[in-house]
Amino acid sequence: MSSAAAVRVLAGVDEQQAAAVLAPAGPVRITAGAGTGKTRTLTHRVAYQHLVGAVPAHLLLAVTHSTKAAGEMRDRLGRLGVPSVQARTFHAAALRQLRYFWPATGLPGDGPVLLDADGRGAYYRYLRAALGTVLRAPGTDVDATLVSDLSTELTWAAARDLTAEQYLGAAKAAGRRPGMDLAVVAGAIERYTSAKRHDGVLDFADLLAFCARLIEQDDQVAATIRAQYAAFVVDEYQDTDPAQQRLLDAWLGGRDNIAVVGDARQAVYAFKGAQTSLIRDFTVRFPHAVAVDLVKDYRSTVPVVDAANRLMAGRPEAAGPQLVGMLGEGPEPVVIRCADEDDEDATILRTVRGWLRTGVPAEQVAILHRFNAQAVKLTAALRDGGIAVVGDGSAYFDRREIVQVLALLRGHAAQAPDDDALDALGQVLARVGYHPQDPPDGTGAARERWDALDALRALVASLPPTLTGTVRTLSADLDRRAAEDHVPPGRGAVTVTTIHRAKGLEWEACLIARAADGSLPSVYATTAAELAEERRLMYVATTRAKRHLVATWAADRPGGRPGRPSPYLSQLVPTRPTQEPAAPPTRFTVGQRVTHDSHGLGRVVDVRAGNVTVDFGTDGRRTLRPDRLIAL
C-alpha cells in the first residue's frame, strides 16, 4: 500500500467525489450530473481502493459502453499509478471470455465464429435469406432498406434479451415502427436464429446472451470467472440494457461488490434497448448500497446550468438533484425566432461569426441538431459563409442514394448541360423513387432514405440562381460539396453534429438548431416514454454548452406550413415577473455577509463595475450580479 499515493488520489477530488471514492467495497451508485466529473470520480475510486488494498486492480473489471471510453479509463488509471486494470466494453469482455472458455461449450473450433468477422457480408446474406423466406421471394430480391430495418430490430431485441417469440408483443408495446409489418420481422428473426444455430455461427449481438448462458449453466466456468474478478465498476450505467445486465449479474454471481456511475437525465438510448430503470432502481436491488450525488457542474456557467435544471424540474423520469454551476456568471441562454429555414440558417451564420469575433475559438463552437438529414443545409450555409466545418462522420454525400443522384445528374449534364437544373433534379429524384408528398411510413431505413433525398431537394432550393440555372452548374456545385466532405478541415473548424453524437462532449458555445416542435420533440415520439427521452435529449444538448447557449427555430416550415417552437424552449429562458417594476438592486459593501442559492454563505470581497465578488469558502471566489445575492 502507498499511503502517499492514496493521499494524492484524494487530493484530486472535491468533497462529493471523495464520498464516492471512500465508500467501502460493496454496492455504490454514483449519480453524476453533466460536468460533475463522473469518470474522474470512478477512476479515483478504483485507484484508491487498489492503493489501500481493498480491491487489488487485477481483480477488478471496469465495463464501459464504447472502446473509446475504455481506453480513456485505462489512460487515467495509468496516470494515477494503476496500470493493470482491465477496462473493456461489455461485448469485448464477453468475446474474450468465450474464446477462453470455448472448449466448455462442446462446440467445434477454437472459438465463436462471428458473422462478418471476415468483412464479406455474411451477416447481410443471412438477413436477406431470412426475409426472403418470410416474404416468399428470392433473398437477392429483398429490398436493402428492409434488410437494414431487420438488422436494427435484431439489435433492439438482443439488447432486451428477447427471443423471436417474445419480440412481437414487446415491439408492439414499445411502439416499434420499422418499414415492414412487425409479424414479418418476428418471422424473419425466427428463421435467422434457426439458420445461425444450424450453421454454428453467432453475430455480434449474440455475444452477451451466449456468454451469460455459459456462465449460468457451467459451474466451473462461473467459478473461474468469479475468482478472477472480485469487483466491477460500470460507466454510463444509464445506458445499460437488459442483455448487458444479465451478463453483469452472471459475473457477480450473487455478490455485490459493484460501483455504477451515470445520470438518468442523460439516458437517450432507449431506442437501442437501454433501460433507465436499472440505475434508478439500483438501491432497490441493493438496499444497503451507498448512494452519492455529484451536483457541482464544473463545465458550465450558472445561467446554462439553471436552464438545464428548469428543463428537468418536476419530471419524474429525470429524478435527481439539481446541478450547481461552478463557472460563475455568464450570458443568459437565448432563443431566436426565425422567419423560415433560410432565415434560420442566416441567423446561425451571424451568431457563429459573432462568437468568433469575440474570441471564441472555432473548435469550441458546435451546432447541434436532432436528425442526420438536418446537417446538410446547416453545413452548406456555414461553408458558403466562409466557416470551416467538421461533421460527425455520418458522410451524407457517401449515402448510396445520394451517390446515385449525383451520378445521374452528372450524366444528364454531360448530355444536355444547359437544361434547367431544377427540372433535371426533379426528374432524377423521381427516377430514384423520391416523391416529396409521400414519405414512407415508420422510422426505418426507407424513411431515412427519403429524408436524405428530401434534404438534397431542400439544399438545392436554398441555393442562389447562379448555381441552379443549368444542370451543368448544379451538378458541378453538388460534386464540389461532396468533395468538401472528404477534406480534413484541420484546426479552426466549427462542429455540426447530432445531439446523440454530442453526448459526452462539450464546447464553449452551442447552438441548438431546428428547435421546432416536430424536431424537438421528434414527430415520431408519441408515447410517454418516447417524449420523456426527447426531453432528456434537449437536456443533453443544453448541458454541452460551457458559456454560450442559443436555440433557433423557424416560424414557417418547408412547403409553407406553419412552425411552432419546441415546447422545451420556454424553459431555456428564465421567466421574469412583469406585473411590477423590479426593485432597485441591493447595495453591497466589502465585508458584508451574503447568501446565494447555489454557493451558500459567503462574504463580499470586492464591488466594482456593477458586479459583486464573494468568497464562498470551499466554493472559492465568484463574481456575480447583485440580483443573485441576498444580504444577511
Sign of the C-alpha dihedral computed for residues 397, 403, 405 and 407 taken in this order: positive
What DSSP element (H or E) covers 602? Answer: strand 600-608
Which 3 state secondary structure label does DSSP give 587?
coil
Sign of the C-alpha dihedral computed for residues 187, 192, 198 and 204 taken in this order: negative
Helix, strand counts (H, E) of the chain: 24, 19
Pairwise CA distance, residues 291 & 301, whole Å: 26
DSSP assignment letter at 516: B
What cell numbers appear for 565 in the block?
A: 417552437
Question: Alpha carbon of 159 to those of 124, 176, 560: distances in Å?
Answer: 19, 14, 41
What cell numbers appear for 573 in the block?
A: 429562458
DSSP assignment letter at 170: H
- 391 annotated ligand binder: no
Instruction: Respond yes or no on whether the N-terminal peptide bond of residue 138 is cis (omega within 30° of 0).
Output: no
Pairwise CA distance, residues 265 & 329, whole Å: 24
Hey, which bits of 42-163 come out as E strands?
Answer: 60-64, 86-89
Q: Are 489 and 542 in contact (CB under 8 A)?
A: no
- 272 annotated ligand binder: no
- 503 annotated ligand binder: no
- 35 annotated ligand binder: yes
Q: Which residues contact 369 (CB under 8 A, 6 or more apart)?
A: 375, 378, 496, 497, 498, 499, 512, 513, 514, 519
Q: What are the respective helix, strand and coil percentages of the chain, to the nearest 5? A: 50, 15, 35
Question: Alpha carbon of 597 to those of 589, 616, 617, 620: distances in Å?
Answer: 20, 12, 15, 15
- 41 annotated ligand binder: no
Degrees (nearest 5) of the Cα angle 468, 473, 477? 90
Phi, psi of 594 (to 5 degrees): -140, 170
Question: Alpha carbon of 90 to those of 27, 205, 236: distances in Å?
Answer: 19, 11, 12
Q: Are 595 and 610 in contact (CB under 8 A)?
A: no
- 57 annotated ligand binder: no
Pairwise CA distance, residues 353 & 316, whole Å: 39
Q: Which residues contact 262 (CB under 8 A, 6 or more apart)?
A: 30, 31, 32, 38, 234, 235, 236, 237, 238, 239, 279
- 443 annotated ligand binder: no
**Amino acid code (one letter) for 367:** I
Largest pairwise CA distance in the chain: 84
What cell numbers appear for 72 in the block?
A: 480513456
Which 3 state secondary structure label does DSSP give 111?
coil
Pairwise CA distance, residues 196 & 123, whole Å: 10
- 32 annotated ligand binder: yes
- Outline where 374-488 has alpha helix (H): 375-384, 400-415, 421-431, 445-462, 471-484
Binding residues for ATP: 32-39
